[in-house]
A and B are shown apart, each in its own frame.
Chain A
Amino acid sequence: SQQGEEDPQALSIQEGENATMNCSYKTSINNLQWYRQNSGRGLVHLILIRSNEREKHSGRLRVTLDTSKKSSSLLITASRAADTASYFCATAAIYNFNKFYFGSGTKLNVKP
């Protein structure tokens, strides 16, 4: 299976702190994407990083990708209570790039 796995499963921080979550996957990918899901809702796309990129920024988000270690990290800086959600990485395989494999997610709780 190419399914990504996020680490940690749950993370609780104070507002203003940074949150880092990691994703590992098993096979070669075309790109990796991060999504956020608020409780009981659909997923919202956050950021896409290509396999030939090592780092990407979007607002308070910073994503890194290490294809040699088959891992990615998502950093949320200066977290806010509204960032409380589950975060999933989704990998798109080289040979089947529109079929996403999601990990089991990191549940982030930002305390005000």
Chain B
Amino acid sequence: DTGVSQDPRHKITKRGQNVTFRCDPISEHNRLYWYRQTLGQGPEFLTYFQNEAQLEKSRLLSDRFSAERPKGSFSTLEIQRTEQGDSAMYLCASSLDEGTEETQYFGPGTRLLVL
């Protein structure tokens, strides 16, 4: 399968614990995005990388959230001291820089439940 993959697919954790999610983009894609999606809503942009550089972060990304893409390939999203409000689907997408008409390809998501 050459699509975007995410791991784990589901995560249940207790409030206050740290969690880390991984995203493996399509191999030749240089851009990688993280979104958060709550029930009944569309995805909300969190952050994106061009190669290994994190170029933009949403105000939704509090200081408890950190994302990395150390070698410009896979990316991790860590949430520290999780809160119940962090419960959501975390989606990763990747794209190839094609000027103004890029299409983002999404992974299956990681569903987080904070108890």
Q: Which A residues are closer than 8 A to B by beta carbons? A: 3-4, 30-31, 33, 35, 40-45, 48, 50, 88, 90, 92, 97-105
Contact = CB atoms under 8 A, between A and B. Distances in A.
A98 B42 contact: no
- Interchain residue pairs A-B with the least CB separation, the first 3: A102-B42, A42-B106, A43-B106
A87 to B, nearest CB: 10
Contact of A40 (B40, B93, B105, B111): B111
29 contacts: A4-B42, A30-B101, A31-B100, A35-B106, A40-B109, A40-B111, A42-B91, A42-B107, A42-B109, A44-B106, A45-B103, A45-B104, A48-B101, A48-B103, A50-B101, A90-B42, A92-B102, A97-B101, A97-B102, A98-B31, A99-B56, A100-B43, A100-B45, A100-B104, A101-B45, A102-B42, A102-B44, A104-B41, A105-B41
Contacts of B93: 43
Contact of A42 (B4, B102, B103): B4
B70 to A, nearest CB: 21
Contacts of B35: 102
Contacts of B105: 45
A103 B111 contact: no
Interface of B: 4, 31, 35, 40-45, 48, 56, 89, 91, 93, 95, 100-109, 111
Given A31-B101, A41-B108, A98-B102, 12 more contacts: A40-B111, A42-B91, A43-B106, A44-B106, A48-B103, A90-B42, A97-B100, A97-B101, A97-B102, A99-B45, A99-B48, A102-B42
A44 to B, nearest CB: 7
Contacts of B42: 3-4, 88, 90, 102-105
B43 A43 contact: yes
Contacts of A90: 42
